[in-house]
Amino acid sequence: MIYGQKIRLRSAEKEDLKTFVRWFNDPHVRQHLTMFRPLSMAQEERWFENLLQQENEVFFVIDIDTENHWTPLGTVGLHPIDWKNRSAVFGICLGTPDDWGKGYGTDAVRTMLRYCFEELNLNRVELNVFEDNERAIRCYEKSGFRQEGLKRQAMYRHGKYVDVIIMSVLKGEFILKRFDPPIQQV
Ligand SMILES: CC(C)(COP(=O)(O)OP(=O)(O)OC[C@H]1O[C@@H](n2cnc3c(N)ncnc32)[C@H](O)[C@@H]1OP(=O)(O)O)[C@@H](O)C(=O)NCCC(=O)NCCS
């Protein structure tokens, strides 16, 4: 397990797949992601089998501690990792809108970045975010990401094009910020 302040990161199990399908079929959640087709259990099972073979991907479930019981909150991953250039593409999703805006995302991003830079020895983590996803952009900025580019009209959604912002954080920048260490370590 990898522990943050309020969350922990763990490997996904087959039993989690049903929860993922429920989360990723919620239009409120999906509007912020690149996926655009409803997701079936069969597709998710195939994706999971494929994930287990991948050496250049990391995928974790984010759990929160609710009254001494860990409950799945979302997912976070690196898709893919470029080992030679020590760089990775980051993705995160909290599956239930009621959980948004409570600081869990920032905790999960920082915990994952700590893992990227202090365990995987990556040098750079980048991501793509839709220009209208202000909550996500703020969460990334708080975690040390900065905007480095903009892909104009790169995404078509809800009948119109939106720009896609490219953000990144380098190891030196993250370490310099000295974010609080996790409260628990195993
Ligand atoms: C993006 C996501 C991981 C962020 O996690 P979160 O727990 O909701 O975010 P946090 O509460 O840690 O931080 C959100 C910040 O944005 C701010 N915020 C919220 N709504 C905002 C808005 N409409 N405009 C500007 N800032 C906003 C919050 O006030 C907070 O900043 P603050 O702490 O300075 O006040 C989560 O919302 C999520 O998974 N959303 C759905 C999927 C998604 O968008 N994934 C990312 C795709 S790139």
Q: pTM of this prediction?
A: 0.95
- Please give the distance, rounded to the nearest whole angstrom, from the Cα atom of residue 140 to the centre of ligand 1: 8
What's CA 15's distance to the chain center, in Å? Answer: 20
Q: What is the pLDDT along the chain (186 residues), one digit of tens a residue?
A: 999 999 999 999 999 999 999 999 999 999 999 999 999 999 999 999 999 999 999 999 999 988 889 999 999 999 999 999 999 999 999 999 999 999 999 999 999 999 999 999 999 999 999 999 999 999 999 999 999 999 999 999 999 999 999 999 999 998 767 666 555 555
| CA 159 to ligand 1 centroid distance, Å | 24
171: exposed, middle or buried (Cβ count in 10 Å: 0-12, 13-18, 19+): middle
Q: Which residue's CA is the nearest one to ligand 1's atom 26?
A: 135
CA of 183 to the centre of ligand 1 (A): 22
> Residue 176's Cα: distance from chain center in Å?
22
Angle in degrees, CA 128, 23, 25, rounded to 5: 85
Q: Which domains does the chain have, with CATH numbers?
A: 2-177 (3.40.630.30)
Closest atom of ligand 1 relative to the 106 alpha carbon: 12
Torsion of CA 128, 43, 71, 65, to 10 degrees: -30
Residue ID of nearest Cα to ligand 1 atom 16: 135
